[in-house]
Structure 1
Amino acid sequence: MNITRVADASDGAHTGIATYHLLTGCHPAKADISSDSDFDRHVLASIVAAAAMEAEPIFDKVGLSSDELAALLEQNFPSIRIEDEKLLLHCKRDESDEVAMVRDLLFAQRSTEGDTGRWLAAMIARRAIEPNHLWEDLGLRDRGELARLLRRHFAPLAARNINNMRWKRFFYRILCEDDGLVICTMPVCTQCTDFNLCFGDESGQSRMAERRRDALLQAPAPVTAGGWTS
């Protein structure tokens, strides 16, 4: 099965859940994120699962090269064996100037060492160009998880969002300010007609939430999906 579709299902939400379950062994709603390491694995699995719901190759949708994605899976989900030939072609990261700017901003503001922060800078930047709220396109369960992610791995940048601006708007505001540009001429945000675009509600249902409460994920044994097996 092509790795661009980790589960062959017409229901995109179910595809994401199946991918998350394949990686972690549990349903996303039941993930234990009490420790930082568990939280990091939850975030990485969520981003990969969100990307699996879309049409392009997963490494394109998560903003990593095929080698980086393979290393991420090996380091964080060692029970997964990579069998899909597309992850073995050493495809380079393909990113636009816009994605690269956000990635560089995040990378420069890292507060943790190691591969995870580096991968997350690229992954967040790539998912930020998708159309939904950023926490949704990262596959997270709510905006609070995104705030925790940014405070943990990009603390200096997160600390600058003192007014709780929407994160994507905040990233671009910082990029403009750091370049000496003025993106808003209003002296007070509450007087601006675009206030809701910057500070509006970001609540909603997770993209991977099950659409029927009584439909529980039944993981087949053995599990095989998109060139990965556990």
Structure 2
Amino acid sequence: MHLLPIPALSDNYIWCLADDDGAHALVVDPGLATPVLDALRGPPLAILLTHHHGDHIGGVPALLERWPGTPVIAPVDERVPVATRRVVDGERIELGPWSFEAIAVPGHTRSHLTFHGHGVLFCGDTLFSLGCGRLFEGTPAQMLASLDRLAALPGTTLVCCGHEYTHSNARFARAVEPDNPALARLSEELDTMDQTGKATLPTRLADELACNPFLRTDVPAVRAAIRLRAPAAPAADAPRDAWFGALRAWKDGFAA
């Protein structure tokens, strides 16, 4: 099994999962068609879409023109008109040698899905390396619940995000937890990747649990930073989603 992050647009990744001999492949969130056409020798088994935003679905019409009849699996949302199959939370998707579970993760959008299977998580714009998506359509409580579900997956899970935001997210994460030793080590690795032009993704979920502030809002050091730096810090006895919302608001206005 091979995972290939295909760069597209300014900072998107289109994900391709292929078997060892290249006979079968899946494509996830193709915002553009040309990079996919350049990467694949033939039609994929299916196209998976996590949400309706144009930078994640914009290449689908051209791919279907080239490869008519390719299944397009997407959330139940009329804003994804190219879908040939719509799936819901907990639905199992069998595609050639692969089996994935759809996990509903509202927050970034109301109908966002992720796809989990074979130690891989295609998470679109819900979970990023050292960050999470903006709350365009959901509430802090929804996004926190969605991230809690993803955080419960095995630590070895490879997290395949929709954007290369790792370096900018790392600057915010260090502002939140400057004394986190795991984050310090990861930051050194990121500096090396930056110098060599290597993609920072996929990342391991265990590393995100150790370093990503949006998965660590229950940690005392993170809450202390929120109290000091967030635009509107919650009361000490506030519910978890209030702390998460304050952290997200801090990030939205953060200037590295």
Going by fraction, where is strand more abundant, 1 or 2?
2
> So what's the TM-score if we normalise by structure 1?
0.33
Q: TM-score w.r.t. structure 2 length?
A: 0.30
Give the helix-richer structure, 1 or 2. Answer: 1
Which gives a bigger RCO, structure 1 or 2 (Cα 8 Å, sep 6+)? 1
